[in-house]
Structure 1
Amino acid sequence: MITGDAAYIKKINRSLIISKIIEHGMVSRADLAKITGLNKATISVQAADLLAEDLIIESVQDHKNLGRRPIMLSINQQAGFVLGIDLDKHSVAFALANISGLPVQTDTIQLNTSDYEVILEVLTKQINAYKQQCSHARYGLSSVVIGIHGIVNNDEMIYFVPQHSWHNKNLKVDLQTKTGVNIYIENNANLCSFAEKVYQHHQSENLLSISLYSGIGLGIMVNGDALRGYHGYAGEIGHMIVVPDGIPCSCGNRGCWEQYASESSFMKQLSEKLNTIDLKYDDIQKLIMAQEPITCKQLKQYIKYLSIGLNNIINLYNPEILVINSELLRIYPNAVTEIKNNLTSTISHYCELLVSELGNQACVMGACAFGIKNFLEVSTISLTLNDGRLS
């Protein structure tokens, strides 16, 4: 049984009320009392506080019935903003969203270096520009959340980023010093799984999200929270060995799963076999549609190795929902069917396996949602997008 003083109980009630206002978009005080189980007096006091803080607004709902029109409560979208960042090997993606989770602006900057100081300056310049852009709002740019394609510990220190060869970088402190903004550092796969939970699968309590882009990362949501492990390093599933003494990996081992089932490895191997460079997803889609023999054979091999790793993950975690985040699989017809046909073990059990609808925007979307959750100090959050993706 949860106990606490009056201030603690008030904080719990506040979190619950904000969560339900976000979830329902617009809701009256009377309906809020029914939804939360709190009495009307508590709702009124909390609503008054949130109105005074400019976190919510009131509006009168039009209706055709006789009687007084209900006053609706909703999140004040212009109270503040959050910035989500996906820091990958060759690019940095930015998404600015208001505190109701709606995107305001998206940008992408290409990287041609792995030098930490250079990238730090790129991030600093962009964050400060967004900060200035949001200065009109009461809470301005409330937080910045950065998804890292590497190992991040529980103190938000970057332990290792294989693609950039970074070791022990305190990007959080470096950026906070240079920008004066609250910075959060998180593993990108964790943010992807959080996005799936917040935007797509609200009711799922046991969700896994696998990202297959420059490497392979696993985000694990158990009972609605991320499973991070003792140091925060859980989910580095791309370095599970699937081929003993196989292809060398930047982690120091050989035969790691991401050398066979990441999109970057597929692109590299297909480019070599086709004797071409700079393959794009559009090129691969055309090759698939034309049933080009080398491409089709390579895809079959790719699905085989992908399925080996998925089988191991399913046996380890017995997920309710297993989401695969992959642009390659989005353009490959019957990808999910082929994967399921390879999962023939009578031991492996899962309820649903699907390719993410959020695609390569999942990380920045999860980052924005994570920033909103921290800013509003809510325990749970459910958001929606009109078209399911950032514009």
Structure 2
Amino acid sequence: MVTGDGAYIKKINRSLLLQKIIEHGLISRADLSKITGLNKATISVQVANLLEEELIYETQHEHNSVGRKPIMLTLNSKAGYVLGIDFDYHHVQYTLSNLQGESVQSDTIKLENHDYDVIVQMLIKEIQKYNAQCSNSRYGLVNVVIGIHGTVNKDESILFVPKYQWHHKNLKADLQKELNINIAIENNANLSSYAERVFKYHNSDNLLNIILSSGIGAGIMIDGEIHKGYHGYAGEMGHMIISPDGKACKCGNNGCWERYASEPSLFEQLSKQLNMPDLNFDDLKTLIDEQDTVTCAYLKQYIEYLAIGLNNIINLYNPENLVINSDILRMYPNAIEEIKSNLKSSVSQYREITLSDLGSESCVMGACALAIQRFLEVPELILKIDEDGITKNDVKVLS
């Protein structure tokens, strides 16, 4: 039983009601009372406050039945906006979304300069631009979350970004010297894992998300929470050693998993074997479709190396869902079946292995979702997408 002063209880009730309104999309006061167990008087007071804050509004659900149309409650998605940023090696991806997680604008900027101070100024300029765009909404740009492809401390400082060779950078503090906006720094794999939970696997409390795109990172969710470890560095699966005295890695070790099973390593090695220095995704898809013998043989070996690491991870964490985010595997026929055929251990237990549907959007989607959750202060966020994006409800605003 939760105990505390009146203000604390009111805050808990408010968070619970907002969570259920978001989860259901459209819901009546009566149904809120049934679902939450809160009495009608409490519902009435809380709803009145949320309406006054313009975080929700009343709508009429379009239906064909005879009788009065029920008055429903729904989130005011345009009350404020959030900005998710995926700070990758060669480019930075920005996604501005409303409070329902719907993308309003997405931009990708190629990085020509890797100097830390130059990039800080670039980020400040871009964030200011998005902030100005949101100035006419009730709450404006409420949160910015930046995904870093490196190790991020629990205090949100950056320990190390291998691709840039950045050590001990406090990006959050450097940005906030010139920006009066809530900013959070998070590991990109953690954000991608959070996106899988929020948008796809709503009921999976033990989920592992493996990203192969710019190295290998893992986002780990245990009992519904992102697992960060002691300092915040948990999930650096790409630097588990699978080949003693193997290929040198930028982390300082040899034989790291990402030197054998990441997408950059695949392009590096296959381009040498094919004598195609500019090998790209389109080229690779053509080679796969044409069943090029060199490409198929290498991909078979690549999947074997991938399965070695996955076997280790499964034995360590016993996940419910293991989600692999890889553009290459999405265009490789029967990739999941081939991976499973290499997982032969009788003690490796998991419920399901799937390829991510979110792809390169997963980090920014997770960043936006985390920003929304923190602004609305809800304990759990569930957003739904279909093939065309976020599922939208058919509503009519009551004037």
The TM-score range, normalised by the shorter chain, is over 0.9
**2:242 match: secondary structure:** coil
**In structure 2, the residue corresponding to 1:97 is in which secondary structure?**
strand
The correspondence of residues 338-349 of structure 1 with structure 2, limited to 5 A, is 338-349=338-349
Query: 1:280, 1:19 → 2: CA distance?
Result: 43
User: Could you tell me whether the CA contact under 8 Å between 2:80 and 2:99 is conserved in 1?
Assistant: yes
- TM-score, with structure 1 as normaliser: 0.98
Contact 2:102 2:389 in 1 (8 A): no
> How big is each residue's C-alpha offset from its partner over 1:211-266, in whole Å with a ceiling of 9 and x where there is no partner?
00111111011111101001011001100000000000011000000000110110
8 A contact 1:358–1:388 mirrored in 2: no
Q: What is the SS of the residue equivalent to 2:155?
A: coil
Runs of 4+ in 1 over 3 A off after TM superposition: 62-68
The residue aligned with 1:228 is 228
Partner of 1:320: 320
**Unpaired segments ≥5 residues, structure 2:** 391-399
Match of 2:369 in 1: 369
- What is the alpha-carbon distance in structure 2 between the residues aligned to residue 89 and residue 272 of structure 1? 22
- Give the residue type in structure 2 aligned to 1:15: S
Instruction: Give distance in 2, aligned partners of 1:79 and 1:94.
Output: 20
Shift of 1:113: 2.5
Deviations 1:30-85 (A, max 9, x none): 11111211111111111001111110111123444454432111111110000001
Partner of 1:255: 255
SS at match of 1:363: helix
| SS across alignment from 2:385 | coil
1:306 is the counterpart of 2:306: yes
2:194 is the counterpart of 1:194: yes
Aligned pairs for 1:253-292 within 5 A: 253-292=253-292
Mapping for residues 236-255 of structure 1, pairs under 5 Å: 236-255=236-255
Greater Cα offset, 144-153 or 29-38: 29-38
Q: Distance in 2 between matches of 1:130 and 1:386?
A: 26
Q: Which amino acid aligns with 2:151?
A: I
Q: Is the 8 A contact 1:102 1:385 kept in 2?
A: no
Determine the structure 2 residue equivalent to 1:78.
Answer: 78
Counterpart-to-counterpart distance in 2, 1:388 and 1:165: 38
SS in structure 2 of the partner of residue 82 of structure 1? strand
SS across alignment from 1:178: coil
CA distance in 2, matches of 1:388, 1:121: 35
| 1:163 counterpart residue number | 163
Q: Does 1:183 align with 2:183?
A: yes
1: CA distance, partners of 2:64 / 2:296: 60
Counterpart in the other structure of 1:142: 142
Aligned residues: 390
1:117 aligns with 2:124: no
Aligned to 2:396: none
Change (3 A) 1:295 1:62: closer
State how far apart, in whole Å, the 1-side matches of 2:388 and 2:378 are. 23
Q: Equivalent residue of 1:77, what SS?
A: coil
Native 8 Å contact 1:15 1:377 kept in 2: yes
Q: Which amino acid aligns with 1:43?
A: I
1:303–1:389 distance in 2 versus 1, CA, 3 Å: farther
Q: Deviations over 1:181-232 (max 9, x none)?
A: 1110000000000000000000111100000011111101111110100101
Between 220-229 and 109-118, report the one with greater CA deviation. Answer: 109-118
CA contact (8 A) 1:193 1:219 kept: yes
Question: Residue 379 of structure 1: SS of its match in structure 2?
Answer: coil
Deviation, structure 1 residue 121: 1.6
RMSD value over aligned CA atoms?
1.2
Q: Residue type matched to 1:138 in 2?
A: R
Residue deviations 1:272-302, cap 9 Å, x none? 1111223221211110011111111110111
Percent sequence identity is: 61
2:255 aligns to what SS in structure 1?
coil
Assess, with a 3 A threshold, how the Cα gap between structure 1 residues 191 and 388 changes in structure 2: closer, same or farther: farther
Tell me the distance in 1 between the aligned counterparts of 2:64 and 2:325. 45
CA distance in 2, matches of 1:164, 1:176: 22
Distance across 2 between alignment mates of 1:72 and 1:311 = 48
Q: Distance in 2 between matches of 1:65 and 1:308?
A: 57
TM-score of the two chains, using structure 2 as the length reference: 0.96
Q: Report the residue type matching 1:387 in the other structure.
A: E
Deviation of the 1:153 alpha carbon:
0.5
How far apart in 1 are the matches of 2:67 and 2:296?
66
Distance between the aligned counterparts of 1:104 and 1:59, measured in 2? 22
Retained in 2: the 8 A contact 1:260–1:302? yes
Counterpart of 1:329 in structure 2 is 329
Q: 1:388, CA displacement in angstroms?
A: 6.4
Give yes or no for contact 1:83–1:95 (8 Å, CA) kept in 2. Answer: yes
**Kept in 2: contact 1:151–1:158 (CA 8 A):** yes
Per-residue CA deviation, residues 289-332 of structure 1 (Å, 9 max, x unaligned), is 11111111110111010000000000000000000011111111
Cα contact 1:358–1:389 (8 A) shared by 2: no
How far apart are the structure 2 equivalents of 1:245 and 1:160? Answer: 23
